[in-house]
Structures are given as C-alpha cells and as structure tokens.
A and B are shown apart, each in its own frame.
Chain A
Amino acid sequence: MLATLIQKELKAIILSPKFPATFAVCSLLILLSTFMGIMEYRNDMAQYETARELTQQELRSTTSWGHIKTKVYRIPEVMQIFVSGVNYDIGRWSAIDDDQGVELRHSAYSDDPVFAVFRFVDFAFVVQFVLTLFALLFTFNAVNGEREDGTLKLILSNSVPRAQYLLAKGIGAWLGLVVPIGIPILLSLLMLPLFGIPTDADTWLKIASLMGISLILFSFFIVLGVLVSTITRRSNISFLMSLVVWILAVMIIPRGGVMAAGTIIRVPREAEIKAQQDAFERQNWHDYYNSSANLWTLDKPDDGGELTDEELWALIARQDSARAEIEAEINQHEVRLREELRRRKRAQERLAFVLSRFSPVSAYQLAAMTLAETDIETKARYEDAMSDFRSAFVSYGKKKAAETGDIGGVQIALSIDDDGNQNMQISSDRNTGELDLEGIPEFQRPSTDNAAIIGEIAVDGGIIGFLTIMAFAGAFVAFLKYDVR
C-alpha cells in the first residue's frame, strides 16, 4: 500500500504543470551558478598566479637585503566555486614588512565595486533562495489541497492508516523533488574536471558534505510545507503562511540576528586601533631619536678628540640594539591591541550566530562557509599564517643581510670643521645585481583540520536535521487529528 501511495505522490508531482517550469529554472540556476563560480575561480587563480609572479620578480630586483619586504596573497579555494562566503569581502593580500604588522587589505569588492553592487550568485545562494522556495511551492497544499479536491476522503475511505498516508506523502514529495534536483547537481559537478579545476579526495569529500547538508535543508523545507498544509484547512491560507515563514527564515532572521548582535556588542573600529598603534609608535620613535641624539653628544671622549673606529662601531651597535628593542616593543603592543580586538569580535560573532541560527537557512549558510573555508574565520586564519610567515621572512632577510654585510640605505655625513667650512659626503654602496633568493621562505596556505571542519558542520547539519524530524513529527500529530471533511 505504501508503495502505491508513494508512487501516486511521485506521479502527482512530476506530472503537475508546475514541475517542468520549476525543474527547468532550478537546473538552469544550478548549472549557471556553478559555471560562474568556475569562471570566477579561474579568474581569481590567474590573478593570484600573476600577482605572485610579479612579487617574486619585484623581490628579485630588490638590490639590498637591508629592509627587504614583500607581499603575500590569499590563495583561491576550489570550494569558493560553490560557496563564495566572504571571499570577495575580505582583503586579498598583506604586506610583509619589518615595520608593519600583517593585515589583509584591499578586498576584491573594494578594488572593483561594480561587482559588489549585486554581489555574487553561487550554489549556496541558489539553495537558500530558490530551492527552498520551490520546495514550499510543491508541498504547501500537500494535505489540505487533497481535502479541497475531495480526494483525501476518497483515499482514507480505503483501508489506509493515516500514518502510512502521511509517510507516503513525505517520502513521495521528497523523492519527487530531490531526485530531479540531483541531475543538475551531478552535471554541475562534472563541470569541475571538464574545466580542469584541480580536485583531490579532500575536495570531493567537502563537496559531498556540502551536497549532503544542502539536501538536509531542502528536506526541511519540503517537510515544512507538509506541516503547514496539515495545520491549515485552506490551501491559500497555507500558501500565505509558508511564504511568510519563508521570508522570515531566508531574509529576515539571518540579517536580524547579525545586526542585533552588532548593536549589543560594540567592537572598536580598525581605524581606532590603527590610530592608537600609530600614536604609540610615534611616541616611541620620538623618544628613540631624542635619546640617540644624546648618545652621540654624551659619548664624546672627555679630551674632546674624535671617537675611535671601535668606539664608533660600539655606538652604532648600541643604537641598533635600542632600535631593535623599540621595534619589538611596538610589535608587542600591536599584537596586544589586535588580540583584544579579536576577542571582542569573537564574542560578537558568537552572539550573532546564536541569534541567526534560529533560522535553518543561516545555519546552512554558516556551515557551507565553514566547509568552503570562506567563513569569517578565514581572515584571522590567514593573518595568523601570514604573521608566522612574516617572522620567518624577516629573520631570513636579517640573516642574509648579516651574511652579506649589506644593509643597504644611504650614508650621509655632514661635518663642519673648526674654520666653519662645511663638508658633506653622500655615499650609497649598493650592489646593483639581483638578489640570490635561494632558500627564501615561501608562504603556504594556512592548514585547516578537515576532521574539525566536518565535525563543526555536523552540528549545523544535525540542527537542521533535528528541525526536519520535529517538523515531520508535528505534521504527523496534526494529521492524526485532521478533519478530513
């Protein structure tokens, strides 16, 4: 009996006039979004490769090891094809420099604001906005529509238990919607090897998890439609109700949660932090210049003669170590400031996510972003990795400078002899050849723990799955008491 009912439900969905239209739209959108994602990924990858090439070239043409600096770029992820997340909103690169902390800057959107006007369309977007809507569109009148047509009475006049009937409804609707959607999804996955996107086992695992969690969300909305149709008697009321729920879940709660958290927990602006840091730096350097000016006058030999070479070198060494000390202090200050900022931000984020997770759609979005590594942690993750790289890079540069004895820069000596004649010498002993970049540290993509990621999204998947089961149980209870007349 169950099989017959499921079959009937399947036929009802697939043969309904709305099926071809929605199926076509969904397939088109899924394929189109993947295609655009692939194009963007290739574009990003090409841009990344050129940028890296150019920085290498720039580095090679530097003529001195003294104060060497470079830039490192964020590396595009294959998964951004499906979930762009905050990829285009956060900075693309950071300067790696001895006197400057690591900071991702210049987001793709700030470089090309035209792409920010309507933002991006990706697979996760299609799932959240389009698939959920269509799921509701097919199931909002699952039960009360049959009542209105009179077929519900007819079916239940046979020896069909209500439980079986509802189960068949659910399963039939699920199969009728999920299987057709599976076709464009598989086709879109085929596009990856077709366009030569490098994929490894890890990526496929992530894609599979993404598809899995997308299906759970889709199932939730299918069941939600069934639930709404069992608690209302007229299909136009249930339609309205499911649309209102959809608007709330997709468009209002996610934004509302984040904005509420933004208002409740204040976080200092980056500019404030920077200004504080600037002030600290300025003060320290000011002190340094004053004290080093004193150094030169105080250490003059008592007899009024000139300093010997050794004394001069000792003086320079002392000045250098003072300089290094101040640099370390400034760095530490910045680290402290940033840590504090990050702590506050974390608190804000936690609250925002708790609030917006009231909607399964935002739980889905957050899980998808985590999976694609385009979540808000990306910035912190990259900045940490870049900080590590910075210390390696800077110490390498220092080591090289010490080895080659090449500190770069320009030496200016100004002296006035007893007769008041001014004498000035400017020299820059610089090698003009290219640097030998053998063994220079290379920036690596920050490593992420795949097991941890899957564990994290399992929580979100679990929440949505739980909600789905609850919705189905609700529909079950409501239907047991349903007045079929």
Chain B
Amino acid sequence: MLKVIINKEIRDLLGSTKFAIIFGVCALLIIATFYVAGTRYKINQSYHEASVTENLRRYEGVTDWFDVQDSRVILPPSPLACLVTGVSNDIGRSILVSGIGELTAEGSRYNEDPLFAIFRFLDLEYVFGVILSLLAILLCYNSISGEKEQGTLRLTFAQPISRSTYILGKILGSFIALSASILVAIAVGCLVFIIMGIPMTDDQWLRLILIIIVGLLYFGAFMSLSVFLSALTSRSANSLLLLLVVWICAVLIVPRVSVLAAGRTVEVPSVDAIANEKATFRAQTRQEFIDAMTHFNPDKYEESADKALMTFMDSLQKERENRVSEFAGRLNENRRNRQQVQHRLALALARISPTASMSLSMSQLAGTDVDMSRDFMEQALTYQKKFASFCEAKTGVVASGFRVIRQVEGEELPEEKPLDVSEIPVFEHHEMATAAVVDAAIPDIGLLVIYNLLFFVGAFVAFLKYDLR
C-alpha cells in the first residue's frame, strides 16, 4: 500500500504544471551556478597565477639576495570555494611575508571589487538555502490541506489505509520525486564542471557529494515542515501564508539577527586598539633598540667591522622582533579567544534556523567557514619560517633592512649576476584533511537530521489528529 501511495505522490508532483515551471527555473539555476563557479574559478586561477608570477618577477634582474627581503603569499582559489563561497571573498587573501615580524592578511576580494559585494555571487549555498527551500514550500504547502479541499483525502481514506502509511507515503513520495529531480540538475552541473575542465581531486568530489547530501537534508527539512504545517491548517491559503512567514524568518532573518545580536554582546577587543598597542610597544622597543645600537663595539668581533655590524644589527633586530611578536602574539591570542566565544554564541543562536545549520556545514565542507582566515594565517606562518631560514642561508642575516656596503677604492665591485628566483621557497596551500572537515561538520549535519525527524514526527502527529472532513 505504501508503494502505491508513494507512486501516486510522485506522479502527482511530476505531472503538475507547477512542478514543471518551478523545477525548470531551479534546474537552470543549479546548472548556472556550476557554470558561474567554473568561470569564477578560471578567472581567479588566472589572477592567482599572474600574482604568483609577479611576485617572482619583481626579483628578476636582482643580483643580490639581500634585495630579496619578502615574498608574497597568496591564497589560491579552489573550485569548492567557488561553489560554496562562505567567507572566502571577505577575508584577506594576500600576505607579505618577510623573514621576521608579524603577518597581516590583506586584499579581500570584496574590498578590491566592491561591485561583487553588492549582490554577492550565486552559489550552491544560496541556491539551496533560499531558492530550493522556497521550492519545497511551494510544492508541498497544500499536500494535506489541498487534498482535503479537493475531496480526494476522504476518498483515499474510504480505502483500508492507515493514516501513518498515508503520511509516510506522502512525505517519502514528495522527497523522492523532488530530490531525484534536483540530483539530475546537479549531475548536469557536475558534467558542466568536468567539461569546463575544472581540476577537482577525488577528495574534493567526495566533499562535493557531502555538500549535496547536506543540501538534500536541508531540502527534506523544509519539505517535511511544509507537510507538517499543511497538516496543522485546514485551508491551503493559510498554510502557504504561515509557511512564507516561517521561511522569511528562518532564511532571511534569524541567522542575520542572531549573529548581529550575539556578536555585539560578546566584547571583542577592536583591531584598532590592538594595532595601537602593538605600535606603542614597537615604538618603545625602537628606543631601546637605538640605545643598544650605540653600544656596538667593533673590537669585540673577529670579523671586519662591516660584517660585525651586520651580525650585530641582525641579532639586535631579531631580539626586538621576537619581543614585539611575542607581545603581539599575546594580544592576538586574547582577541582570538574572545572571537571564538563570540563565534560560538553567535552561531549557536543562528542554528535555531535550519538554514544556518545548512550553510555552516556546507561552508565547513568547502573549507570556507569562519576559521578559513586563521587556517591561512597558520600556513603563512609555517612558510615564514621556511622563508627565514632560506634568507639566512643565502645572506647570513634575516632581520634585514640593514646593510653595509663596503667599497674600497680601486677595488672592482664583484660581478653582478641575476639571481635564480626559482630558488625562493614556494608557498603551497594545503586544504584541511577531509576527515577533520567532516568531523567539524558532523554536529550541523546531525542537527539537520534532527530537524528532519522533528518536522516529520510533527507532521505525523498532526495528521493523526487531522479532521478529514
């Protein structure tokens, strides 16, 4: 019997004009999303390559490793980040790394191109979160109340069917019909990706599949919510209105408002205050640095005075930088901890809405969640160490900036040969391991499953008490 009902539900849905129109729009959107992501990825990739080459090209013709004092680290684009943008366009993507000192990430895409910040990009998170949830509502808002209005509900229950079989069949049928159609559109989208030649590793495909599963779970939650509310109301016009209000709150309002409200209740030291403290501390150490410098005595060194001065300055500078970065590190650490408290509170509140759970888990899986900038910074720090040891190996000093050129009359300058810039260590960005990412996303996925169950049970209970007349 269950099979018959599922079958009937699938046919009902797929045969309606409503479905044809709405699904047509959604399918086009999904495919467009993949296409847009692919093009963005290619554009970003070409920008990225250009920036990396420029980074090396500025050292072309340089003949002395002393002139190579810094190297720019740039966050490479990833196809998944184009599909689920998360905060990837908001965070700084480029860090100037010199052998020593604090790093700051700069140049977020939206800051560079505010044009795109106005309406943002089309991505899977948006398509699922805003458009497909609306589709779920539009297709299921009258699944119970509509049948009642048409009189088919009474007809059905004239047969020996239990209410629980009926409601189960309803929900399963709609879910199978709709998710299958969405999957077809997504499959075409993936094909577009492959045809465009977007390089995706197996790991990334796996993550994409998980992202789609999260999307379908979310879709299922909205679908069973629609059935639930339609079983609570006797007129379909009322259930639609109610659902639209719920949709507006869940999708557009709750996530934003809760983040803003929670974010402002937790005080996080402002970046400016921290920057100021750092600058003050740096100014202090500068005075001490200069005082220490006056104590230089070349006689204490075996090397010639210029060499000695350089090593002396380097060690002084290193000491100063270490002190400054230790101080800055403490401040940053403090801010980071406060920020984490803020994130936890803000995002926990936002999760009242399934949309928030969905977009948080999706961005986690795509590696574009709020921790993205911290992860990038850590990798840049690792690179900094590599770069510092490289500089030290080449020139003997790191802290740099200071240089003595000794030129003795009558002595020829050493011949200048262009450097082999390919020797400069290359920054390689590592994506977080899939296992770790999945681990981080699991609570949100679990929450989505709970939402599904909750709405399903709600629909079930409401329908058991439903007045069929």
Chain A residues with a Cβ under 8 A of chain B:
17-18, 21-22, 25, 29, 32, 36, 39-40, 43, 47, 50-51, 54-55, 57-58, 61-62, 73, 85-86, 89-91, 93, 104-107, 109-121, 125, 129-130, 133, 137, 236-237, 240, 243-244, 247-248, 251-252, 254-256, 258-259, 261-263, 266-272, 275-276, 278-279, 282-283, 286, 289, 293, 297, 300, 345, 348-349, 352, 356, 362, 365-366, 369, 376, 378-379, 410, 412, 414, 416, 422-424, 426-428, 430, 432
Contacts and interface: CB of A to CB of B under 8 A. Distances in A.
6 contacts: A18-B241, A113-B87, A118-B256, A120-B256, A424-B296, A426-B296
A117 B87 contact: yes
Contacts of A130: 248, 252
B291 to A, nearest CB: 8
A114 B342 contact: yes
A297 B409 contact: yes
A30 to B, nearest CB: 12
Interface stretch (B110-118, B198-206, B321-329, B451-459): B110-118
A107 B268 CA distance: 16
B359 A252 contact: no
B372 A113 contact: yes
B54 A279 contact: yes
B108 A54 contact: no
A120 B47 contact: no
B359 A282 contact: no
B43 A263 contact: yes
A28 to B, nearest CB: 9
A282 B69 CA distance: 11
A424 B309 contact: yes
Nearest to B105: A110
B462 interface: no
Contacts of B134: 243, 247
B257 A32 contact: yes
B381 interface: no
A452 to B, nearest CB: 20
A51 B60 CA distance: 40
A379 B107 CA distance: 13
Most chain B CB atoms below 10 A, which of A40, A61, A255: A255
A414 B350 CA distance: 65
Nearest to B247: A133
Interface of B: 17-18, 21-22, 25, 29, 32, 36, 39-40, 43, 47, 50-51, 54-55, 57-62, 67, 72, 74, 86-87, 90-92, 94, 104-108, 110-122, 126, 130-131, 134, 138, 237-238, 241-242, 244-245, 248-249, 252-253, 255-257, 259-261, 263-264, 268, 270-273, 276, 279-280, 283, 287, 290, 293-294, 296, 298-299, 304-306, 309, 339, 342-343, 346-347, 350, 356, 359-360, 363, 369-370, 372-373, 404-405, 407, 409
A117 B359 contact: yes
A104 B111 contact: yes
B155 to A, nearest CB: 21
B30 to A, nearest CB: 12
B370 A114 contact: yes
Given A115-B263, A426-B293, A107 B118 contact: no
Contacts of A275: 51, 54-55, 57-58, 72
A344 to B, nearest CB: 11
B106 A414 contact: no
A130 to B, nearest CB: 6
Contacts of B111: 89-91, 104-105, 107, 110, 379
A428 B294 CA distance: 8
Nearest to A129: B252
A243 B21 CA distance: 11
A410 to B, nearest CB: 6
Contacts of B305: 414, 416, 422, 424
Contacts of B272: 47, 50-51, 54, 73, 93
Contacts, number: 278
The SS class assigned to the B binding surface is helix
Contacts of B58: 275, 278-279, 282
Nearest to B313: A412
Given A58-B276, A243-B138, A259-B36, A106 B271 contact: yes
A86 B106 contact: no
B298 to A, nearest CB: 5
Contact of A271 (B62, B74, B130, B407): B74
A25 B409 contact: no
B114 A89 contact: yes
Contacts of B271: 106, 111
A378 B119 CA distance: 16
B103 to A, nearest CB: 14
A19 to B, nearest CB: 10
Contacts of B113: 262, 267, 345
A2 B382 CA distance: 77
Given A258-B115, A262-B115, A410 B290 contact: yes
B51 A86 contact: no
B306 A255 contact: no
B270 A107 contact: no
B92 A89 contact: no
A50 B273 CA distance: 8
B425 to A, nearest CB: 18
B445 to A, nearest CB: 17
Given A21-B241, A121-B252, 12 more contacts: A57-B276, A58-B283, A110-B90, A110-B108, A116-B90, A119-B256, A133-B244, A258-B118, A279-B58, A376-B114, A412-B309, A414-B404
Nearest to A430: B290
B25 A352 contact: no
Contacts of B248: 25, 29, 129-130, 133
